[in-house]
C-alpha cells in the first residue's frame, strides 16, 4: 500500500471544509456589510460646504449662507430621531436660508394614508429649524399632491413653491427664489416659475436634476444662476469601482455634486433618507451649505 488511497478522503474533507469556511465567511461578511449600511452608514451625516460665485450678486448677499436638505422620505425608513439630529446639524451651521428640495414622504410601500400622517410629523420636526425655510415638491410628494400640501406647508411656515417665485430681500437688495413643478409627476412651467425681469440673482429649486437640460434651453434659462436638486440619493449604494446600483428616472445624468453650464450652476444633493431598502454605502446622507460670493 502506498498510502494514496488513505490520503484521498482526507484531501476531500479538507477541501470541503475550506469551501464551507469560505461560504460561512462570505455570509458573515455580507451580513456585516448589511448591518453597517443599514445602521451606521445610513445615519452618518456628511456636511459639504461650497462657495458659489454669482456674477450679479448684490453686496448685501455677499457671504449669504444657504443650507440645502433633500429627500427625507419620512418615516418609513428615516426615523424621527434622525431627522431631529439633522435639524440640530442644520442649526449649528447658522444658515440665512434653508431650502428643502422635495420628497418629504414616500409613495410606497405604506401608501397614501401613511404619507398623509407622515407629512405632519415631518414638518413638526422641521419647524425646529431656526432659519427661514422654503420648499419644492418631489416626485414622491405627488402621492398627496400640491393642492393638499400647500396649506399644510403654509401652516408650518414653509412656503411650498410650485411654479412660483418669491423675493428674498436684504438691506434693500434682492434675490429671487423659485420652485418649479417636478417634471416626472407634475406640469412644470418655467414661464411662471422664473421672473421675466429679475432685479437680482435667481435661485431655482427643482427636485429632479436632469431637468437642468430643459432649464438651460428655455428662453428664461439664462436668468437662472443656481439650480438646487436632489432625487438621486447620490446612488445610495456605491460599491467601489462599480457604477451606482440604481438611479431613478430624471436623475441618471447628473448624479451628485456641482455642475456648470453657461450661466447656471447645478448642485445635486445626496439626500437624507433612503428608498427601496434602508441602506447607504459609500454615499452618506448630506447637508449642503452654500456661501454666496461675487464671481
Report the pLDDT value the prediction gives residue 205, as an integer from 0 to 100: 98
- pLDDT values of the chain reduced to their tens digit, one per residue, 295 residues: 455 544 555 555 555 566 555 445 444 444 454 444 455 889 999 999 999 999 999 999 999 999 999 999 999 899 999 999 999 999 999 999 999 999 999 998 889 999 999 999 999 999 999 999 999 999 999 999 999 999 999 999 999 999 999 999 999 999 999 999 999 999 999 999 999 999 999 999 999 999 999 999 999 999 999 999 999 999 999 988 888 888 999 999 999 999 999 899 999 999 999 998 898 999 999 999 999 999 9
Same domain, 34 and 55: no
d(CA 155, CA 85): 23
Residues 193, 176: Cα–Cα separation, whole Å: 10
Residue keyed to cell 438621486? 232
**Nearest C-alpha neighbor of 183 from the set 209, 164, 158, 201:** 209
Same domain, 16 and 62: no
Are residue 215 and residue 157 in the same domain, yes or no?
yes
pTM of the model: 0.89
The pLDDT value given to residue 262: 85
**107 and 10, same structural domain?**
no
Give the 3-state secondary structure of residue 225. coil
Same structural domain, 7 and 143: no
**107 plus 213 within the same structural domain:** yes
Q: At what angle do helices 80-92 and 111-126 cross, to 10 degrees?
A: 30
Residues 4 and 143 placed together within one structural domain of the fold? no
How much is the pLDDT for 260? 97
Shared-domain flag, residues 31 and 88: no
CATH no. for residue 208? 3.60.21.10
- Give, in order, the Cα–Cα distances in Å from 144 to each of 8, 141, 147, 157, 195: 68, 6, 8, 19, 27
- Which pLDDT score is estimated for 222? 97
Exposed, middle or buried, 43 (CB in 10 Å: 0-12/13-18/19+)?
A: middle
> Do 220 and 113 fall within a single domain?
yes
For residues 258 and 262, give the distance between their C-alpha atoms in angstroms, rounded to a whole number.
14
The phi, psi pair for 278, rounded to 5°, reads -80, 60
DSSP classification of residue 224: -
Domain that holds residue 10: 1-43
* 28 shares its domain with 89: no
CA distance 29 to 11: 27
Q: How far apart are CA 171 and CA 187, in angstroms?
A: 35
CA distance 61 to 238: 37
User: Do 27 and 151 have their domain in common?
Assistant: no
Residue 277: predicted pLDDT: 87
Total domains in the chain come to 2
Residues 55 and 35 in one domain: no
Per-residue pLDDT, 92: 98
On whether the CB atoms of residues 66 and 98 are closer than 8 A, the answer is yes
Amino acid at each position: 500500500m502506498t498510502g494514496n488511497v488513505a490520503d484521498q478522503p482526507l484531501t476531500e474533507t479538507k477541501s470541503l471544509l475550506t469551501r464551507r469556511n469560505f461560504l460561512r465567511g462570505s455570509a458573515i461578511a455580507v451580513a456585516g456589510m448589511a448591518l453597517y449600511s443599514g445602521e451606521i452608514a445610513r445615519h452618518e451625516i456628511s456636511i459639504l460646504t461650497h462657495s458659489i460665485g454669482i456674477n450679479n450678486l448684490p453686496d448685501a448677499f455677499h457671504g449669504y449662507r444657504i443650507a440645502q436638505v433633500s429627500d427625507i422620505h419620512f418615516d418609513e425608513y428615516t426615523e424621527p430621531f434622525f431627522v431631529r439630529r439633522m435639524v440640530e446639524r442644520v442649526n449649528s451651521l447658522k444658515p440665512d436660508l434653508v431650502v428643502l428640495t422635495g420628497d418629504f414622504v414616500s409613495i410606497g410601500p405604506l401608501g397614501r394614508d401613511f404619507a398623509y400622517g407622515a407629512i405632519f410629523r415631518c414638518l413638526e420636526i422641521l419647524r425646529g429649524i431656526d432659519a427661514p425655510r422654503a420648499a419644492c415638491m418631489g416626485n414622491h410628494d405627488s402621492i398627496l399632491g400640491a393642492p393638499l400640501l400647500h396649506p399644510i406647508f403654509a401652516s408650518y411656515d414653509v412656503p411650498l413653491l410650485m411654479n412660483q417665485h418669491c423675493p428674498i430681500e436684504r438691506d434693500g437688495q434682492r434675490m429671487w427664489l423659485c420652485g418649479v413643478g417636478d417634471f416626472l409627476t407634475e406640469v412644470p412651467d418655467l414661464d411662471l416659475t422664473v421672473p421675466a425681469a429679475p432685479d437680482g440673482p435667481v435661485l431655482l429649486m427643482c427636485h429632479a436634476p436632469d431637468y437642468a437640460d430643459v432649464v438651460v434651453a428655455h428662453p428664461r434659462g439664462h436668468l437662472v444662476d443656481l439650480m438646487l436638486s436632489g432625487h438621486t440619493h447620490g446612488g445610495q449604494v456605491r460599491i467601489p469601482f462599480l457604477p451606482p446600483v440604481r438611479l431613478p428616472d430624471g436623475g441618471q445624468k447628473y448624479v451628485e455634486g456641482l455642475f456648470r453650464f453657461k450661466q447656471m450652476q447645478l448642485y445635486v444633493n445626496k439626500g437624507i433618507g433612503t428608498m427601496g431598502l434602508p441602506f447607504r454605502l459609500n454615499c452618506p446622507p448630506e447637508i449642503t451649505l452654500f456661501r454666496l460670493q461675487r464671481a
